[in-house]
Structure 1
Amino acid sequence: MRTISTIAATNTTTATIAAVRNLGILAHVDAGKTTVTERILYLTGTTHKRGEVHDGTTVTDFDPQERDRGITIFAAAVSCAWDGHRINLIDTPGHVDFADEVERSLRVLDGAVAVFDAVAGVEPQSESVWRQAERHGVPRIAFVNKLDRAGADLDTALASIRERLHPLPLAVQLPIGAEDAFTGVVDLLHLRALTWPDGQADMRQGPVPAHLADEATARRRALEENVAELHPGALEEFCSRGTLSAATLAAALRDLTRTGEAVVVLCGSAYRNRGIEPLLDAVAAYLPSPLDVPPVRGARTTTDTTEEQRAPDPQQPFTALAFKVNAAPTGRLTYLRIYAGTLHRGDTVLDTTTGRTERVARILRVMADRHTETDHALAGDIVAVIGPKAARVGATLCTPTRPILLEAPVSAEPVVTVAVEARHTADTDKLATALARLTEEDPSLRLRTDPETGQRTLSGLGELHLEVAVEKIRRDNGIDAVAGRPQVALRERLVEGVSGFVYRHAKQDGGAGQFAHLVLDVQPIQPVQPDQSAHPTRHDTTEEDFVFTSTVTGGRVPREYVHAVEAGCRDALAEGPLTGHPVTGVAVTLTDGATHPKDSSELAFRTAARLALREALRTGRLHLLEPLAQVNATVPEDALGTVLGDLAARRGHVQATTTAGTGTGTAQVTALVPLVELFGYATRLRSRTQGRGTFTTRPAGYAPAPTA
């Protein structure tokens, strides 16, 4: 029987977890994510000076490259307190080359704040990170930033959210003033004005300005009607009373945020310190705590797929996921999201992924590049630990006697490759160690050594991604590393197959021999092309890259040999017959075969399948594919013709050009361009637009590469 003190302690712990908010800041490049984060840290008393991106004084953009480039590159975790809540916040990158950092962060978050530019609305990378959050089931609220800019308009931003992201945007604020005259917002739930006078840090509350009273009342009524249509409890009160109380409205907005049926929208100007306090209140009010999230699920071990689940309870067996590793020469930090149980300093934990046990020497509360030591951490916490030596990104750490294996974040496939070597021979071994450490920190980077030349190649998600990686090697390790010209990751796609391909593998060189007889049907998988009008030759790789089936009957090929045939086929697809690049879009059917009573084995059938599929692919017909990128450029209207001509010269296919309604004398260009043609494009665009042009890219599938 539990004592009163035990019950009280349990209730206190539950209340502590209920007050936690694990959230990420998501947005397109330059929408103001880092500035929002800096203002949150300042207002919560975590920092005593407002950091500025342009001054290189931000807390979360602490890496020298981030400060030099003025962009977020690495996801940074910070912790702060607001109104009795502890907020664990991760500032994520906005550039597409670092989308894997966003993916790993979203895997461990309970909620997110999506930041939008009040002029541009939903931008391409905004849409991408929104879809990533949607895929992980992470509830979001929106913050329309930069309302003090020329051309800023809340209603236009709301329309772009509705049209491009599709949830119903529920604006709970109305701006007071526009552009330079923006001074605050009307809180539609409580019908009050919140203002931030110039030169004063404190928020002031007051009555709604007379000239906005009618509009505020109308918008409050529209908000009530929209909420009542979506929420049964709110509908009941609305029908009985004809209106909704602020408490009912807030509760309904919380429920709709969690289910994703609608998104609460707030607004402000982070740079001018306007709108951050209500945003923090909304984080506490609408985003879920760890207790509101369903129990985490996983398999028992790598071999035992029996499902286990762990609730966010400190009394449950310890369960955590490693989502970030900082393998610095001075020490190895492993960042954990604790889903269940309690972790104490000195505990021994099991890495279910590798089967190794590790000792946790120290537990750290993280503040970007600074840390505060603590004795323990509870379910719902995000902390860093020192001690585990082999845990990689995606590893599950748990109580050794109660193993569980959580699903790891999936890394995107790299599309750009560079050769990396040390300028001085004496640094060769140091370079190898630095590259290994780098790929340990960032799983989206792939390291490979060419078996013929011995040259090391590094593959990543874009040109900037690799630039940052090589510069990190130079700065952190003092190595004069040299990178070759980037090369794109090509693919070979089967377009015409072969049926009834017969292959007989017989090898006898003393002792036990090898024998396998196979009959294969090798056919292409038709690519999915959802938008043929956008690019007539585009191949989207949303279908399965390889499908294997067996129609053999009568035991002519035993089951264990069938698995070996599938493995051999996968081996063959790693290097295609055209250029040695991976082959995609292949369906293989094993239709017949034969065995030898003594010489057949799994090895023989795997070898036979590899050789057979290679021969079959040479018999069929393949196309060489190159990766495409969707380019979204913002350029001056007077330079539009020059920019379009340059894109055409780069084999680009322009999808859309918009000049009307931007209000800034600029044009928006969207085009599909082969990725190989974009190397060095940033410099060319700046020179053709007198430094005023900017662009972003994102992956857009594959298309046939031109023949020589």
Structure 2
Amino acid sequence: MNKVLATMIITRFRKLVNPASYRFCRAFLSDIRHHQEVRNVEDIRNIGISAHIDSGKTTLTERLLFYSGRIDEMHEVKGKDKVGAVMDSMELERERGITIQSAATYVLWKSKNINIIDTPGHVDFTVEVERALRVLDGAILVLCGVGGVQAQTFTVTRQMARYSVPCIAFINKLDRKGADPHRVLNQMKEKLHFTAALTQIPIGIEDNLKGIIDLIDEKAIYFDGPHGEKVRHDEIPKDMRAEAVDRRQELVECISNVDDVLGEMFLEDKTPNNQDIKAAIRRNCISRKFIPVLVGSALKNKGVQPLMDSVISYLPNPAEVENFAFKESDDGSEPSKVILSPARDKSSPFVGLAFKMEQTRFGQLTYIRTYQGSVSKGDIIWNARTGRKIKIPRLARMHSNNMEDISEAYAGDICAFFGSQIIYGINSCTRSCYLDVCKDPTFHYTWDSDSKEMIVSGMGELHLEIYGQRMANEYDCPVELGKPKVAFRETLTAPCKFDYFHKKQSGGAGQYGRVVGILEPIPSPRNTELIFSPEIVGNNIPKQFLPSIERGFRMMCEKGHLSGNKIRGIKFRLKDGQSHSVDSNDIAFACAAVGAIKQVQKLGRWHIIEPIMKLEVTVPYEFSGPAIAAICKRSGVIVNTEEASGYMAVSAEAPLNDMFGFTTELRTLSQGKGEFTMEFSKYAPVRGDVQQQLTSGYKDDNPDSHLERNIIL
């Protein structure tokens, strides 16, 4: 439908019908526009919105959808009006006011199709950012006008660099008290080492934010209307003309330092026109040599439309990004590298990458980015990882959690397969190629046979808490989350002799067996082992009964008498014994070994040992003091410290029982910049207060722990 005609229809309906009917008409016409097929790859942009948590990413996306006509009303992120932002479709996201999982949508802006992925900002969900950036051609880096460059900003910029994703920056929240775009720009240069310059400056700041000044076109831009939907261009205010001239000169000089064409014009004292500047920004933005910085406030509806214009002007289309795959060879040699064609036609074989899979109310949904060729509903594609063929029963484009069926997708599109049995890590094509990835690799679960618990691990406490709530809400499977049990062990502190005689007679063949020897501790690092050592001279105990003695010994070591934990780090030295030609049997000698252990439990000196972990903590040097203090507070012992490139690496050893919650504490004290790794080192005796707590708790929970246990052979 012609755009002018659509505008006329909307205007006429606004005058003639009630607001609800008008909104329906507007949404209907929007759907017509968005279902128009984009045939040219130059008219496509695939972008992501990334930032530190609470920088305004989802609010910005809500404005992008509204101004493009994709949605008819804007809503608050935290869902105070019981609706919430479109891209935060999960109930948990609306309750907490944060983005938990990435969500895809698309808009049509000035005849250009922009596929958008809104990503989380919390570090616990950074894998969502990782797999989104892998399939995107460009990104918007959102920075808070008050907070500036924050912890997660470093992470997302490293991810962009890893996948060579060019970006433009948007300094948001300039309506807040303490906002300063020039300070944020300096932080980008000093902390992120960006070559960046402002392409816009705000008219006013904080409560006085009125609009922005475009330094390239040298125009003031105001956003009128109840929602800032009417963009008005005007002359630059007189009191800001001098600043605008200076900032424009800074912009030109900054670009000239990285662009040869503009650099030559600068040296020859030639004045570049607006098109020269924009072309230079685009060239160097795509090559990641320069980052244009825009300003505004998404919440106050200022600066969003020029940002969308900059996405089209400066970020690349799929044809300007080189993508490749590896083609298998028939002779078994190394795969060959193949450059993928971005042409939007059916002449090339289809190649796509599934980058995310989720379980929705419709069933399994797999997000895929097409890189070459086309795929249609009903097509059969090839999974290069499994070597299996897959039929595509349904193809859709995603708008948050809503699906819109499409008949086919071409190179450069981001779509979803629905209803096909696609496994994690799909690599789809019509010819073999190697591509990778899919499920959340930061969430793991294992069954711990020692504690009889399911152990889950993730990026942090929030990550695990969210997964627990999702299992209860989405799958009707409530779970109890708690601190994992530490694998404590019990062992001897000194050797102890044993001499136990087991005799039982109840008519007929009886039971007769005697064992004599020493139970002694095994020093570290072998104090996690159990050793059975038969040292008998002669035939007082026939050899066929030795396995039964060892079996009784090991069975008793499965549960200690102090805390109920396993007994480890002891050696059973069998020195002597007695047997009977008729009454001695396997069960008699197994019972004799059990009695020997119980005898040593009464006579010997026992203590509890715990796992000691080796830590490697890395923090910026200015946070090294608090980091070392946090380790010492957790009974850690500092082994070594090294300083390099402004960071302090601390090597230490600390009990595992004291390390729970250290991730959150380290992030807090280091502004999210600290990292650490932890691995098992050894077992060592616990502190006296810990042993007292463990033994008291065990006796309270198991009042009958002193009773004999049945022997199962």
1:226-625 matched pairs, under 5 angstroms: 226-240=254-268, 242-300=270-328, 305-309=334-338, 310-313=340-343, 314=345, 315-328=347-360, 330-392=362-424, 394-399=425-430, 402-406=431-435, 408-409=436-437, 441-450=439-448, 455-486=453-484, 624-625=613-614
Supply the AA of the counterpart residue of 2:50: L
How much has 1:251 moved relative to structure 2? Answer: 0.6
Distance 1:630 1:273, change over 3 A: farther
Matched, 1:29 2:53: yes
Q: Which residue of 2 aligns with 1:113?
A: 140
Q: Percent identity?
A: 35
How much has 1:210 moved relative to structure 2? Answer: 0.2
Encode CA deviations 1:308-355: one digit per residue, 9 max, x unaligned.
422212322100000010134641111000000100100001111111
CA distance in 1, matches of 2:433, 2:632: 53
Matched, 1:701 2:676: yes
Note if contact 1:327-1:441 (Cα within 8 Å) is conserved in structure 2.
Answer: no
Encode CA deviations 1:269-324: one digit per residue, 9 max, x unaligned.
01001010110001000001100001322242896632242221232210000001
CA distance in 1, matches of 2:356, 2:108: 23
Note if contact 1:488-1:626 (Cα within 8 Å) is conserved in structure 2.
Answer: no
How much has 1:452 moved relative to structure 2? Answer: 5.9
How much has 1:109 moved relative to structure 2? Answer: 0.5
1:53-202 matched pairs, under 5 angstroms: 53-55=77-79, 57-197=84-224, 199=226, 201=228, 202=230
How much has 1:138 moved relative to structure 2? Answer: 0.3
Give 3-state SS (helix, strand or coil) of 2:262's partner.
Answer: helix
Encode CA deviations 1:6-31: one digit per residue, 9 max, x unaligned.
xxxxxx99962111111110100111
Q: Which residue of 2 aligns with 1:538?
A: none
Note if contact 2:626-2:669 (Cα within 8 Å) is conserved in structure 1.
Answer: no
CA distance in 2, matches of 1:85, 1:150: 36
Encode CA deviations 1:600-652: one digit per residue, 9 max, x unaligned.
xxxxxxxxxxxxxxxxxxxxxx9832465869999xxxxxx999998974579
Deviates more, 1:261-270 or 1:196-205: 196-205
Note if contact 1:632-1:695 (Cα within 8 Å) is conserved in structure 2.
Answer: no
Q: Which residue of 2 aligns with 1:425?
A: none
How much has 1:237 moved relative to structure 2? Answer: 3.2
Give 3-state SS (helix, strand or coil) of 2:378's partner.
Answer: coil
Give 3-state SS (helix, strand or coil) of 2:113's partner.
Answer: strand
How much has 1:170 moved relative to structure 2? Answer: 1.6
Match 2:243 to one of 182, 197, 215? 215
Instruction: Name the larger-Rg structure.
Output: 2
Q: Which residue of 2 aligns with 1:47?
A: 71
Distance 1:178 1:329, change over 3 A: closer
Give 3-state SS (helix, strand or coil) of 2:462's partner.
Answer: helix
Distance 1:632 1:390, change over 3 A: farther
How much has 1:229 moved relative to structure 2? Answer: 2.2
Note if contact 2:620-2:674 (Cα within 8 Å) is conserved in structure 1.
Answer: no
CA distance in 2, matches of 1:372, 1:257: 33
Note if contact 2:446-2:456 (Cα within 8 Å) is conserved in structure 1.
Answer: yes
Supply the AA of the counterpart residue of 1:484: G
Q: Which residue of 1 aligns with 2:696?
A: none
Distance 1:14 1:168, change over 3 A: same
How much has 1:678 moved relative to structure 2? Answer: 7.7
Give 3-state SS (helix, strand or coil) of 1:39's partner.
Answer: helix
Distance 1:282 1:68, change over 3 A: same
Give 3-state SS (helix, strand or coil) of 1:157's partner.
Answer: helix
1:629-648 matched pairs, under 5 angstroms: none
Distance 1:229 1:199, change over 3 A: same
How much has 1:468 moved relative to structure 2? Answer: 1.1
Supply the AA of the counterpart residue of 1:150: K
Deviates more, 1:310-319 or 1:370-379: 310-319
How much has 1:449 moved relative to structure 2? Answer: 2.7
Q: How many correspondences in the alignment?
A: 505
Note if contact 1:96-1:698 (Cα within 8 Å) is conserved in structure 2.
Answer: no
Encode CA deviations 1:453-502: one digit per residue, 9 max, x unaligned.
6643222121111111111111111122222315799xxxxxxxxxxxxx
Distance 1:98 1:326, change over 3 A: same
Give 3-state SS (helix, strand or coil) of 2:257's partner.
Answer: helix
Supply the AA of the counterpart residue of 1:259: S
TM-score by length of 1: 0.65
Matched, 1:19 2:19: no
Give 3-state SS (helix, strand or coil) of 1:58's partner.
Answer: coil
CA distance in 2, matches of 1:694, 1:50: 37
Q: What runs of 5+ residues in structure 2 fail to find an aligned partner? A: 1-35, 488-565, 567-610, 642-647, 687-713
Distance 1:702 1:397, change over 3 A: same
Note if contact 2:78-2:95 (Cα within 8 Å) is conserved in structure 1.
Answer: no
